[in-house]
Structure 1
Amino acid sequence: MARTLVLWLPPAAMLGERVDAAWLRVDDGVIVDSGQDDGWVDAWEKPRDDEGDDRLIALAPAADVPLRWRHYPDAAPAQAAAIARVDTLRDSLGDAALLHVVAGQPADAGQAVPVAVTTHAAMAAWTDWLKEQGLSAVAIIPAAATVPPPEPDSLWSAELGREQILRSDDRSFISDPELDPLIAAGRPIAPLDADRMRQALLLSLAAPPLDLLTGAWQPRRNWAIDPALVRWMKRLAVALLAVTLLIPIIHAIRLNADIGRADGASVAAAKKAGVTATDAASAEAELDRRLAAAGGGPLAFSVPASALYDAMRDTPGVALKSLSHRTDGTLSTTLAAPRTEDLNAVLLALQARGYKITAQPMAGTDGNQMANITVRAVP
């Protein structure tokens, strides 16, 4: 349910006094309560049974905000509104910097443009008064703008809030018994029916002809995060954290499962070779032992020797002086090179392959650098 509180702003000249504002409450387009006292406080703060939209619309008094309608038949709506504002400023008395001129935008080309004129001082006084009441209006509509146009060659006199407003075909302003006949210039002044005025007011609330909260007085937008969005973001963060944790866990589970299957396959393959073992490590150790006894496997001469030759091939300045192999898989060699850095390159390459290296440097008789090196055949 949409609930709207309509509050008449006191005239700017009376803001320093104790003034009970006129008000009414509208629920879903129907006036349900009204008054000319401080009863709006209870009407506005009354608890609701549902979660509808609440909004406050303030009506600026016609005494401070007269209205005029200007016609520009050949101009587009936006262009007509801009021209109307400029023309009104030009025709207004006083310093233009002190005036707050607002032009509404007609729906179609050729329609009259409503233009309201007030002062920045009045706007400041009204906004301060609303803040003192703890209120924030979504719109400030000139009360004179809510009076509907009269019949041709006549004027309306309408009572709205605590004001009597006179409405002609192109103007709307506060009524003055002495000036009204002069302004009417022989045209009849008819009282506007209260029911018709009420319907026009409700239409103006639904589609305001213009809003004084524009330009310098446009409220700053307060960025508020929807609580539902916050809850959704929290849930998303928890889900992302859970996924982040589950990915390595699942990867570890799959890796362990693959290792288990590979170990099982190794044990089965060893069993076919006549090796009985409870796990892959035991089967590998037994196979290495049998290969060593037969002179093959990773303890064979060819394994560390091929690694040594590959490392030397990447360092052409290194020469092989002697080479021997023991049954435990250890390869002994003497290397010579013009520089110690060349020997170190070979040793680093062997270590990178996972072999355990020992080296004893010495000087050669021909000026080369030499080293006695042992290479463990099993990494």
Structure 2
Amino acid sequence: MKPIRLILIPSLGTEPAPYLVIADGRVRERGVLELDAVERPEPMRTVAVVPGVEATIRWLDLPAGGLAQQRAAALWMLKDTVAVPADRLAVALGSVPAAGQPRLVAVVGLSLLQAWIDYLDALGVCADAIVPDVMTVPEPDEDDRLNAVAFGPAMALRGRGFAASVQPDLVELVAHPRRVEPIRDPGEVERSLIEAALVLPIDLLSALDRTRGTVRRDWALVAGLAGLLMVSPLVLVAAAAARDDTAARADVSSAHAEIARVAPELAARPDPIEALRQRVLTAPPPGGVIGATAALFAAVEGVEGAELDLLIIDPEVGMKASVAHTDYQDMQLIARAMRANGLQVTETSTLDDRGRIVSDITIGSVR
């Protein structure tokens, strides 16, 4: 096996970086890489371990879809956690899990990821992979336990389906009610680092696949991409029927059987096909409730002074909302943004409430 260089990037970018050279699963060399050293290190595969406190790590139930769509879905699920514009974030995904299992996701600031790359360049090396330090901590066997390893001023905590780096005085708060088992043996920590370098749990550099070149996204586009993954089988069946009504009429018995399978409560209606069609018309395509809600939030946030006062989702009547805004032209801007996502906004009432305009709307498909 070719040797691997494992570099620990310090929390302060002015400090040198400790490293190990691993060959055949064992440490062949230890040392420290100095910034802007005259002699460049020997070229070899390099794995950098970065401070985990800078990364948001979660295990998420992601819908099936392409890599770009799954990254967008993960980013949208973490929207309230990261609180940073989408085009400033890099999203890395772990390996594809077994069916029904959540997928490992790591989100880090794009500028910080670039700063780590620049730091490594100043050391005279180029990383082939970048891993948050917390992901080198071994996962415990018990659900009620967290393994803990100190990396610089932070404590890396790892549990089953959990990983976070926190300040030492926050460990008890974050861990509760799980017990914390510190790993203090340097040899055990080193073995965990070696294992992570040999079998990468996640690679932050893989996030650059979506951020290189011109592929950059804002929250509205993230919402749209995420929404594409949320199309329900019911909507797919009905949309196909609407697009090819002639074919549906040619095989009514088959259509009824399919409706009975995906929506048995509609099979007893006098006209099951029409009942299914009406349900689709009141449902928010193309991304179902999640996609439509994401598009609505993005549209409202894009209009200065506009606020979403009320959102109602009912399987029978579809989506309804109340939007407070300052100008009568605002709803046109919101409707235009929604239409770009395949959604139709219909104003049902508008009133002036103490200097604020409140518009009640329904949300459906563009027909």
Q: TM-score, normalised by structure 1?
A: 0.47
TM-score w.r.t. the length of structure 2 is 0.49
Greater relative contact order, per chain length (Cα 8 Å cut-off, separation 6+): 2
Structure with the greater alpha carbon radius of gyration? 1
Higher strand share: 2
